[in-house]
Structure 1
């Protein structure tokens, strides 16, 4: 792990090179966020964000890293995943859950 690795804004762990990562639009593209601010996250953290919140909730109430961390389910997830190594990946197959 390098000290210059980006930090995931949800779990606050470094994102080492080679670890699955995702670019998260703080305001969803479907809600006017195309070209707006983005943050780099662990793929597992990004999946949990979209499993926990609707696009409307993300746009309206959870459009900052601080707001995401304040959501009860995401706070619980972040506390759990922060105990795993930065290279931790979910063993659950499949993509994002359908709404």
Structure 2
């Protein structure tokens, strides 16, 4: 199995920042307990409070894909529907 790094950028509507932040924070303890999750850290841009970023490391792409179909992610999507302006996800492979 090859380790997978995920960088997920989430941009909230300016008037929905608190909602998006609260919903993202709910994901942390559940995801950190999932099989294959090595790291799951939420960041916020110091100059743009509407920009959040998850930095994740997973044992494999297969285990990350299991995470992506988990009920708590579906609940997040439903709770933040219309509150997220942009979501960009990058799958990356560690080099060194």
Shorter-chain TM-score category?
0.3 to 0.5
User: As a proportion of its length, which structure holds more strand?
Assistant: 2
Structure-1-length-normalised TM-score: 0.33
Taking structure 2 as the reference length, the TM-score comes to: 0.34
Which structure is richer in relative contact order (CA contacts within 8 A, separation 6 or more)? 2
